[in-house]
């Protein structure tokens, strides 16, 4: 016969050994509870010795709170989002929350993913890399689950969001590339209809147009390496090819960079300057050395955590979008320019 598993120790067992009430022992596991320091230490020490772990499910049934923060994401192919998820989940777990990740497949399963998420009674929902339908937003509202959009500007008028200043960052990149000699700018877009694509496009093209330059653009169709490759091929085949390319995301810029070098034999940045947006880890690899705009991920996560804790930043009421400034990262894929004050670059 297989060995019988050892019986799980309960909070009643701890209370019996310590000669305390169950209520006193239970309070020791709540940092905010009013209990003597020596009593708490005695309970926690015995719990470690006996291998006791508080039952989160039972606690949620008593308190009515699950401590779950649902995170909904639909695009894990873009390296930016695993990077953002790692920081976000670490911060939530360190703050005592349980993170539940739900992945919605691109192409129309967002409503089903939301229903799955809500079945676990999350206290909050953070939405990354996808846009919710009106029905899904209403479903969350009816369930009493507040929403926060991360790196997305929602259409819902009363929703909160924490994003990078995409338009300002793209305009700063345009100014940097123009100062480096770009005169025939090109733009490779991401997934049309998303706020990241729209705002970065507006920032780059708007700044170039204000300077009297005409921008050629090609849709990438998605924030993918292949999307950047295909769009770069279309832009570089013509006789009047661009001498500068801005891609709406780093992973697309890497596709465009490899295409320019290996299929068209172009020197970067001498023949063609290339820049992206996000500053994913691969952007700084020596083989790429990609100029880009770094998203303020740590600050975005900090603002998100404050909102989840119920202490949002000033002005982060319903309907507010917090836009945090990015950082221009000048690397080897754009031409060096004389040092300019940041105000002049962003003008």
DSSP string, 14-75: HHHHHT--HHHHHHTT-TTS---HHHHHHHHHHHHHHT----HHHHHHHHS---EEEEEES-
pLDDT at 152: 85
Nearest-5° angle of CA 121, CA 128, CA 315?
A: 85
When pLDDT is averaged across residues 205-231 and rounded to a whole number, the result is: 93
Burial of 91 (0-12, 13-18, 19+ CB in 10 A): middle
Q: Is the pLDDT assigned to residue 230 strictly greater than 50? A: yes
Cis, bond preceding 269 (omega within 30 deg of 0): yes
Q: Where does the pLDDT of residue 1 fall: very low under 50, low under 70, confident under 90, or very high at 90 and above?
A: very low
Taking 70 as the threshold, does the pLDDT of residue 342 lie above it?
A: no
Q: What is the model's pLDDT at position 3?
A: 43
Write out the two tokens for 343. 């105000």
- What is the reported pLDDT for 315? 47
Residue 305: pLDDT over 60? yes
- Mean pLDDT of the 128-134 span: 73
State the pLDDT at residue 266. 97
Asked if the domains at 68-164+297-324 and 166-295+327-345 fall in one CATH topology, the answer is yes
pLDDT reported for residue 319: 57
The rounded distance, in Å, linking the Cα atoms of 58 and 102 is 23
Give the pLDDT score at 192.
86
Which of 144 and 169 is assigned the larger pLDDT? 169
* pLDDT of residue 188 exceeding 60: yes
- Looking at residue 179, the DSSP 8-state letter turns out to be H
CA dihedral 187, 192, 193, 195 (to 10 degrees): -40
How crowded is the C-beta side of 257, counted as CA atoms within 13 Å?
26
* Res. 60: pLDDT tops 60: no
Task: List, edge to edge, every strand of the sheet that includes 244-247.
Answer: 216-219, 185-189, 244-247, 273-275
**Lowest model confidence (mean pLDDT) among 11-15, 84-88, 307-311, 313-317:** 313-317
CB-based contacts of 265-272 (< 8 A; 24+ apart in sequence): 266/236, 268/332, 268/333, 269/180, 269/332, 269/333, 269/334, 269/335, 270/335, 271/243, 272/236, 272/241, 272/242, 272/243, 272/244, 272/245
Question: Across residues 240-259, what is the average pLDDT?
Answer: 96
d(Cα 24, Cα 193) in Å, to the nearest integer?
Answer: 55
Whole-prediction pTM: 0.79
What CATH number has the domain spanning 166-295+327-345?
3.40.50.2300
Facing residues of 148 across strands? 126, 160
Q: Where are the domains of the chain?
A: 11-54, 68-164+297-324, 166-295+327-345
pLDDT given at position 156: 66
Q: If you average pLDDT over residues 228-246, what whole number do you get?
A: 94
Q: What pLDDT was estimated at residue 61?
A: 46
Q: Which CATH superfamily is domain 68-164+297-324 in?
A: Response regulator (3.40.50.2300)
Q: Is the pLDDT of residue 165 over 90?
A: yes
Task: Give mean pLDDT, residues 149-156.
Answer: 81
**Can you read off the two tokens belonging to residue 216?**
């050629």
Residue 312 has pLDDT above 50, yes or no: yes
């Amino acid at each position: 016969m297989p060995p019988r598993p050892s019986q799980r120790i309960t909070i009643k067992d701890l209370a019996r050994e310590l000669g305390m009430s169950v209520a006193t022992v239970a309070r020791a596991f709540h940092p905010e509870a009013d209990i003597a320091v020596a009593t708490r230490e005695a309970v926690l020490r015995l719990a470690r010795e006996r291998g006791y772990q508080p039952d989160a499910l039972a606690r949620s049934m008593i308190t009515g709170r699950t401590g779950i923060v649902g995170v909904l994401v639909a695009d894990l192919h873009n390296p930016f989002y695993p990077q953002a998820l790692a920081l976000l989940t670490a911060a939530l777990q360190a703050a005592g929350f349980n993170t539940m990740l739900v992945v919605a497949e691109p192409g129309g399963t967002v409503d089903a993913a939301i229903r799955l998420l809500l079945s676990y009674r999350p206290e909050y929902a953070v939405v990354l890399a996808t846009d919710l339908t009106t029905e899904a937003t209403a479903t969350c509202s009816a369930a009493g689950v507040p929403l926060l959009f991360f790196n997305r500007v929602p259409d819902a008028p009363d929703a909160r969001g924490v994003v990078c200043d995409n338009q300002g960052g793209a305009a700063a990149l345009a100014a940097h590339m123009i100062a480096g000699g770009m005169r025939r700018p090109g733009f490779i877009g991401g997934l049309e209809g998303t706020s990241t694509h729209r705002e970065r496009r507006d920032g780059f093209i708007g700044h170039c147009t204000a300077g009297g330059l005409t921008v050629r653009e090609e849709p990438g169709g998605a924030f993918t390496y292949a999307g950047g490759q295909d769009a770069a091929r279309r832009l570089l085949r013509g006789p009047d090819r661009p001498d500068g390319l801005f891609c709406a995301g780093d992973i697309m810029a890497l596709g465009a960079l490899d295409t320019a070098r290996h299929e068209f034999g172009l020197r970067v940045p001498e023949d063609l300057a290339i820049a992206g947006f996000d500053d994913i880890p691969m952007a700084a690899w020596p083989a790429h050395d990609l100029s880009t705009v770094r998203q303020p991920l740590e600050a975005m996560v900090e603002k998100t955590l404050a909102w989840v804790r119920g202490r949002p930043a000033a002005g982060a009421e319903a309907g507010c979008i917090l836009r945090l400034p990015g950082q221009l990262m000048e690397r080897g894929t754009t031409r060096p320019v004389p040092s300019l004050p940041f105000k002049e670059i962003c003008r």
